[in-house]
Amino acid sequence: MSAANGASRPAIRVERVTKTFRYRPYAPGSLTLKTAILDALLLRRPALVTVRALEALSLEVKPGEMLGIVGPNGAGKSTLLRVVSGVYKPDSGSVALEGRLGCLLELGAGFHPELTGRENVEIAGLVAGLTRAEIRERTGAITAFAEIDAFLDAPVRSYSSGMLLRLGFAVASEVEPRVLLVDEALAVGDVAFQEKCLARIAALRKNGTAILLVSHDLSTVARLCERALRLEAGRVRDEGPAGEVVSRYQAAQAPTK
């Protein structure tokens, strides 16, 4: 464990964050143009349903630490990452980050399909706070890591899912983030690329990057993370050493005889 892990100031601090969504529950296939117009004219609409994705959730991640988030579908894991990244604004509570943020939230997120790989790298670097000169210096390393040299000047809509994943991870990790958010990305791609990702993550952690990882791959969470949280219905149901949290979660999922 790096010395940075002993730092007292958290790189990620989430304090009592609550996030809700509201929607109208139309039956699948029932919302046609005709029914939408009639509903509007007759003021006939289903009542709004409120779903609480996160409820008074708190966590901290120290520099150099990797925290895993596990839980069933709909538990609030991806919503949590989007709140931490600033994509969603919490209804209440607060999020504080120390330093530059790198995000890999979903395949191709943040890339414009009609722009080339080079142009998307430049935009992503500018958004992360790099200068154009710094981006040019890093472009070679990014494309080498992503293994897309021959396609750098092709529009990313022509990229395969593996190429998008490699480029996204290369950009997110090459901007020297102090905070890195990863949503399932390590579960995609071939074994060789996964090993490259793990080596890059180890280097980032050694340099003090705090990492928040959401994954359904429980073995990866147990192997890479010191601590883990298990979310259910937007609340923390378990917290502790990653291996212990994963074991208890697996036991809870096991079918009863």
Residue 212 lies in a domain: yes
For range 51-58, the mean pLDDT: 94
What's the predicted TM-score (pTM) here?
0.82
Residue 19 lies in a domain: no
pLDDT digits (tens, 9 = 90+) for 25-34: 665 555 677 7
CATH number of the domain that 111 lies in?
3.40.50.300
For range 163-190, the mean pLDDT: 83
pLDDT digits (tens, 9 = 90+) for 207-232: 999 999 998 889 989 999 999 999 99
Residue 22 lies in a domain: no
Q: By residue range, what is the domain housing residue 138?
A: 64-86+101-253
Residue 157 lies in a domain: yes
Element containing residue 248 per DSSP (H, E): helix 242-253
Please determine, for residue 176, whether its predicted confidence score (pLDDT) is greater than 90. no
The 8-class DSSP code of residue 15 comes to E
Taking the CA atoms of the chain, what radius of gyration do you get in angstroms? 20
Helices within 65-190 (DSSP H only): 77-85, 117-127, 132-146, 161-174
Residue 130 lies in a domain: yes
pLDDT digits (tens, 9 = 90+) for 83-103: 999 999 999 999 999 988 988
| C-alpha to C-alpha distance for 27 and 35, rounded to whole angstroms | 12
Residue 156 lies in a domain: yes
Question: 234 is written with which tokens?
Answer: 């937007």
Contact 23, 47 (CB under 8 A): no
Question: 38 is written with which tokens?
Answer: 């009639």
Question: Residue 2: pLDDT band by 50, 70, 90 thresholds?
Answer: very low
Residue 1 lies in a domain: no
Strand order in the sheet with 235-241: 101-104, 179-183, 210-214, 66-70, 227-232, 235-241
How many structural domains is the chain composed of? 1
Please determine, for residue 75, whether its predicted confidence score (pLDDT) is greater than 60. yes
pLDDT digits (tens, 9 = 90+) for 102-146: 888 766 667 899 999 999 999 988 888 889 999 999 999 999 998
Residue 71 lies in a domain: yes
